[in-house]
Amino acid sequence: MTTELYFYLLLTATFFFAGMVKGVTGMGLPTVAMGVLGTTMPASMAAAMLVLPSFITNVWQLLAGPAIAKLWRRLWPLLLTICVGTVGGTVLLVHVNPLWSGFALGVALIVYAVYALVAPVFFVPTKAERWASPLVGVLTGIITGATGVFVMPAVPYISALNLSKDELVQALGLSFTVSTVALAVGLFVHGAFRVEQLGLSTWAVVPALMGMWLGARVRARISPKRFKQCFLVFLVVLGGELASQPFF
């Protein structure tokens, strides 16, 4: 098997699995893709490949409900500061030694997976959103810019806003869409997103959508809770492998 064929098979399989996870759980595509690809290439290159499949699948998720305007009015301070933090934080993804970017990504994966496995229940008071949203947005942006992963701490924060199930899925889609665009801008500004990478990113869209479609069908047949638990354990293992690379 040639190196090029192996690369395309890895890319296809990664985004198919990542799309399937998103189809089942409503999230996880960038987490899986960055986690797997980050073991074989610099994190900045993996993040560039993520842009189009992440954007298209998140827009699909965003448009699946009627509450876009309502959520935008409520979440715009969070979304604005995510953009600022991401564009600024991308300099870390581009210029830091790839081993240490992988370490940061591994830590982010472990923190997110452990949080989701423990799943503490808490709610953010409406009055606290005025100061909490910008703070969470900046932190999420910096972590997104540095690792290419959109989840921490925005996902647990949005989950704590007492939204309905449909609003929560749509709010996550809105947050992920904005984060994807901001990441693409940050990569471009810092010279890590080139035109030739659009071909690879476009290639990844098809398996991601196929996986997302299959994931939605799987979700109707198995317990999403059990699948999510297995997925999170996988992330802990993958995150541990990434985080250990600089030390071996």
Give the predicted TM-score (pTM) of the model: 0.80
Residue-range definition of the domain harbouring residue 89: 3-247
pLDDT band at 98 (very low <50, low <70, confident <90, very high): low
- pLDDT beyond 80 at 230: no
**CB-count exposure of residue 215 (10 Å: 0-12, 13-18, 19+):** buried
**Mean residue pLDDT across the chain:** 85
- Whether 215 and 20 have beta carbons less than 8 Å apart is answered as yes
- Interval 81-105 mean pLDDT: 84
| Per-residue three-class SS string for 23-80 | HHHCCCHHHHHHHHHCCCCCHHHHHHHHHHHHHHHHHHHHCCCCCHHHHHHHHHHHHH
Residue 231's pLDDT is what? Answer: 78
- Interval 201-222 mean pLDDT: 88
Q: Give residue-wise pLDDT tens across range 135-170.
A: 999 999 998 888 888 878 898 899 889 888 778 888
164/89: higher pLDDT:
89
Residues 6+ apart with CB under 8 A from 65: 166, 167, 169, 170
- pLDDT beyond 70 at 120: no
pLDDT band at 239 (very low <50, low <70, confident <90, very high): confident
Q: Give residue-wise pLDDT tens across range 25-46.
A: 777 888 888 888 877 887 778 8
82/40: higher pLDDT:
82
Question: Cα–Cα distances in Å, from 117 out to 33, 120, 121, 231?
Answer: 20, 9, 12, 10
200/132: higher pLDDT:
132
Tokens at 145, concatenated: 């810019």
Structurally, the chain folds into a number of domains equal to 1
Share of residues in the chain with pLDDT > 90 (%) = 28
Residues 6+ apart with CB under 8 A from 153: 136, 139, 140, 143
